[in-house]
Chains A and B, each alone.
Chain A
């Protein structure tokens, strides 16, 4: 196990390095500069600015400086908002994006699994059709459309929830709903189909024959196996939710990280581009790693390491 983890950690560092290098190459190849403006500045001013941010140095030196900033986790000040450092921006935005993401995942998994199990148990009955119809809608409606719809109906027309911003738990309901509906629908459909499959297995019949309590059969025997595919797609869903927050954060004016990620590219704010990209990638890589570990714990048949099992 330890050996496996060690190997994975090494792979994670290499992946991150590749991402950083690609980002750097993309950054220097896109035309434009952070100091581009309609009006233009004096050459002397321009030269001073470039020197201040090391943009006058050869690319290879800039590259090494970026690597250094990543190792020390100090990305320096933003070019566009010079009185703020990238670390401050990440420190401010990440907890909020994380909060939004985590709540979304919890809501999506809980409601998705519940809906899926329910639909499977009431297979081909009205509840099944309703649940699955709901799921199809959830998958087909893009989250930004749903977001606008939710605001108009639930915040403007009937004033149940606040329109936007991120101040109290009530402010979280609409963005979380908009963001969680898609993943929830996917999870619900997946749970339903695997649940249907598992319920016909011999060991379930066996459990029933032994007279176990129904909830025990569902929760302990059926659900545990039915959840495996759900865990498998968690990695992809996670990436989807993280990128989904960019749009949702903008619509609901949630002061998270998405805005830095998108705007820094438009503004060619190099330190912020690097900071957000590295941070997002590192986060995603670690999460995928955790999902893999969870997979091993949930299913004892899966061996994370080659040795250790019977050869």
Chain B
């Protein structure tokens, strides 16, 4: 598969009267799973939607493989960047296979919309279903599946695009621990296959465990960017999240269950 890096240069974004992102620059490399962390409203989702080309109102530029994101046609962009928004929905009573097949839309011409998918599409869909362990539920209606199964179907849809860049927005929210780990293992294995993977995450333990790099957003800027151990320092966590480890603990202990909320 084609490998492309993703770089954001001086991204600023103002939504309404609020400056959501202020001069953000970083780059993500193929083979790495980059976690985007930060508090609610820190701009994680906005950043991902800008990188995906969905949010067009921003300053600065996004390059994929050295080319400007805006210079691609819609289909070319969609083939390079697969995106899973927060709380994805399926509006009609489609089955898992049909949802996964929608991932092949960027490859289809508008005039053959009634034909059956060609073998390449079928192969991509089958591979995506197998690698997300959804092959057993491919014929089930998505509405009848559990949250964890649904998220895997949406991931299968993303994988079916076979894009070198994968962006996912809070894929683990609402999932049980087993499904959370499963989901991040999937993303990491995609990275290991050569994809550039970015995921917005809330669970810092999972982020520390699975991500190669972490990008910590705080009040519209990047507070820290690097390996998890460099980013998740008590000082950074205090600044961004206003949480601190209990006094008698090992400061490198990232088991956040014992951390305490700081009250002003």
A and B part of one assembly: no
